[in-house]
A = this chain, B = another copy of it.
Amino acid sequence: MKDYKSTALCALILVGLFGCQQTTNDPKPPELVVNNSADAQISLQLAKQALNSNLAYDIVESLTVEIGPRLAGSDKDLMAVDWAMEKLRSMGFDKVYKESVQVPAWSRGKAEASIVAPFQQPLVITALGGSVATPTNGITAPIVRFDSLAALKLAEPSTVKGKIVFIDHITERHKDGNGYGVTVGGRSKGAVEAAKKGAVAVVIRSIGTNHDRMAHTGVMRYQDDVAKIPAAAMSFPDAELINGMLKRDPNIMMSLKMSSENLGIATSYNVIAEVTGSSKPEELVLIGAHLDSWDEGTGAIDDGAGVAIVTAAAKLIQDLPQKPARTIRVVLYAAEEVGLIGGKSYVKQHADDLEKHYIAAESDFGAGPIYQIDFNVAPASFSQIQHQVSSMTLNGVALGNNKASGGPDVSMMPSLGVPVASLRQDGTDYFDYHHTPNDTLDKIDPKSLAQNVAAYVQFAYMMAQSDVELRPLTQQ
């Protein structure tokens, strides 16, 4: 991004911190006139501060070092809630509070698997979140392989009955992470579809883009009227290994032993901090992330990064001499990983004041740089709101489309009438680490993290000052 087309862009460059950048995927670059209002100037000043600050990195370092993994409903989850309350209070936000959320608790236990015939080799697997255990002595059964969930659905039950279903669908690498959406159904629905045909367990090729011998966990689902069978993921090399074996012999026996356990319902919390608006304090700009994580890494990119990004952005606004009109509400959601539980709970608890939510956005895609902002607002207002945030282009953020979901924990808001934005991050390597032991602090680039904070602070400030009417949304 070394070229630029609009001299209007360069007019706004602040003390060398923003380069002259072409906004990628910009729908109309020749016509773009960047917002140069007083508000935009303040937002750029905030972005400049963000780019110069280590605050977000310090926050995610603190969370990952002092707390680390924080599985929803576990003791560590509650420690993370305490950590968040203390951290937010220490930062001097106008309000810091928490709202209880009932979350499903689950224990991973141990997961072991091996091929026992005709070859003998141990495998590297992990239980999928929510899976039941195997019987204590494990399950030993033949493998039946499918290219995808769709192929499993088409299978004759007689070919599946009594076997361990192996869903072998490769996740493709994309900047926007869309390979994940193609394959994740095998993880979430594989156990139900396999059990319907009489399978005794399901193992999937990990929903991930890396080649490490490390498996990717993630939530799976059961259905009340279908038998609950154990579900696990295996690493890329293990999936390749089994394919190598199947080339030699179609009759491969796998042994699987898992001691995971569903522990019922526990209490967790959405943790909330606010920068009180100066003239419309009852109106809200919600910027969120989720506090819970899977349990094998330290929850750095998923979603310590998001926690750090939105918190650091709000803190910059908190410290302004003159607060913006609307209130900035930071929501650190509970139990996103196990089914968007905190997000769903939030919209229920706030059903009566959802109309006061001007716009919402969640950061939950790692720490890669933000390259585009999409909205989901009234179509008539789309170009106006794009213009409002157009100075974000100086931070490398292109102006995108009007089809945003907003992020997992706010994805239910548009259907309830709340406008959302998606600040899209480069997720090229996100699914290398996602839901694995490799989700650790060293996978975060501090400069890229700061670019995220700069984007969020511009977005939040401009939204808190905006006079554009973003409603009503079109039908979802």
A250 within 8 A of B: no
Residue numbers in B under 8 Å from A121 (CB-CB): 68-69, 298
Residue numbers in B under 8 Å from A212 (CB-CB): 212, 214, 438
A244 within 8 A of B: yes
A29 within 8 A of B: no
Residue numbers in B under 8 Å from A298 (CB-CB): 121, 237, 241
A451 within 8 A of B: no
Binding-face segment, A221-229, A270-278, A440-448:
A440-448
Report A112 CB to chain B, min CB distance, Å: 11
Asked whether A211 lies within 8 Å of B241 as measured between CB atoms, the reply is no
Indicate the size class of the contact surface on chain A.
20 to 34
Asked whether A119 lies within 8 Å of B248 as measured between CB atoms, the reply is no
Q: A213-B297, A214-B213 are in contact. Are A244 and B441 (CB under 8 A)?
A: yes
Residue numbers in B under 8 Å from A76 (CB-CB): 120
> CB < 8 Å: which of B69, B214, B248, B443 contacts A66?
B248
Asked whether B65 lies within 8 Å of A438 as measured between CB atoms, the reply is no
Interchain CA distance A24-B214 in the complex, whole Å? 37
Report A123 CB to chain B, min CB distance, Å: 10
Asked whether B236 lies within 8 Å of A437 as measured between CB atoms, the reply is no
A182 within 8 A of B: no
Asked whether A240 lies within 8 Å of B442 as measured between CB atoms, the reply is yes
Asked whether B440 lies within 8 Å of A61 as measured between CB atoms, the reply is no
* Chain A residues within 8 Å of B, Cβ to Cβ: 61, 64-69, 76, 119-122, 124, 211-214, 236-237, 240-241, 244-245, 248, 297-298, 436-438, 440-443
**5 examples of A-B residue contacts, CB within 8 angstroms:** A65-B241, A68-B119, A68-B241, A213-B437, A237-B442
